[in-house]
Structure 1
Amino acid sequence: MLPLLKYFVMKDLIDKLLSVCFPSDILTYFELSAIEEYKDRIDIRFDEKKEMIPQCLRRIPNIVLDGFCNPIGLLSFPLKDKPTYLKIYRRRWKQSGINKYYSNTYQLHPRGIKTTHHFASFLKEAH
């Protein structure tokens, strides 16, 4: 198989695996950036996509990335019989030279519980 074709086949398989394992609302706005497996848990990091500039800043010149907000930690379905935590990092934006920060907000978890929507529904049905 040609290297370029092999790349696209592998990318398609990885994208399909991600769509099976993680909520579509997370994959729409965030990209997988790290996976760390520990003895007692798995942490999966998602960083907000760079093109997700907040709506209020889209027409303002000199917008720059300024790091990340504090992460949102969500419990998701277990992997390999270990609790799996999704660490969601939203980007922080500002206009160059001005110290006012902006970030996007998302409804990534049900109110009052730090799990993904799908995992919360599963737990609710299980009890």
Structure 2
Amino acid sequence: LESSSEIVIYLEEKNELPGEYSTVKVESKGFYDPVVVRDFPIRGKNLFLNIRRRRWILKDEGRYVSRNWKLVAEGSRMTHEFASFLKELY
């Protein structure tokens, strides 16, 4: 979505179960509330990344789990995995 002053990019995590839960019974349960990250401007416009993270429920425990995104990468406003994801695009 683009306007005269900002760009909003919507990202949605793929429905791929994290490896650490591959041996247990799980069920996809949609998404957590989106997180909006403000990133560096592009061509003089503010850039916002609207990120929707998936969640799964462990059937035997009734506990929700999600992919383990490391906290913010040092010196940036994004996670290590997200920074790697962006690097792969370019």
Q: Quick one: distance in 2 between partners of 1:105 and 1:76?
A: 21
Say what the alpha-carbon RMSD is for the aligned residues: 2.8
Q: Quick one: distance in 2 between partners of 1:58 and 1:97?
A: 14
2:8 to 43, 46, 50: 43
* Percent identity (aligned): 28
Q: Quick one: distance in 2 between partners of 1:87 and 1:114?
A: 17
Task: Give per-residue Cα distances to partners, 1:64-105, cap 9 Å, x unaligned.
Answer: 211111223222222232110112221000134864210012
Secondary structure in 2 matching 1:56: helix
Asked which structure has the greater CA Rg, the reply is 1
Give the ranges of 4+ consecutive aligned residues of structure 1 lying more than 3 Å apart after TM superposition. 95-99
Contact 2:58 2:65 (8 Å CA) reproduced: no
Unaligned 5+ segments in structure 1 are: 1-35, 118-127
Instruction: State the TM-score, normalized to the length of structure 2.
Output: 0.64
Number of aligned residues: 79
Matched, 1:59 2:23: yes
Q: Quick one: distance in 2 between partners of 1:87 and 1:95?
A: 26
Name the structure 1 match of 2:50: 87
Task: Give per-residue Cα distances to partners, 1:29-83, cap 9 Å, x unaligned.
Answer: xxxxxxx1134321111111222x133321113x221111122322222223211
State the one-letter code of the partner of 1:45. Answer: Y
Aligned-residue offset at 1:115: 2.4
State the one-letter code of the partner of 2:78. Answer: T
Q: Quick one: distance in 2 between partners of 1:95 and 1:77?
A: 37
Task: Tell which has more relative contact order, 1 or 2 (C-alpha 8 A, sep 6+).
Answer: 2
Q: Quick one: distance in 1 between partners of 2:70 and 2:38?
A: 15
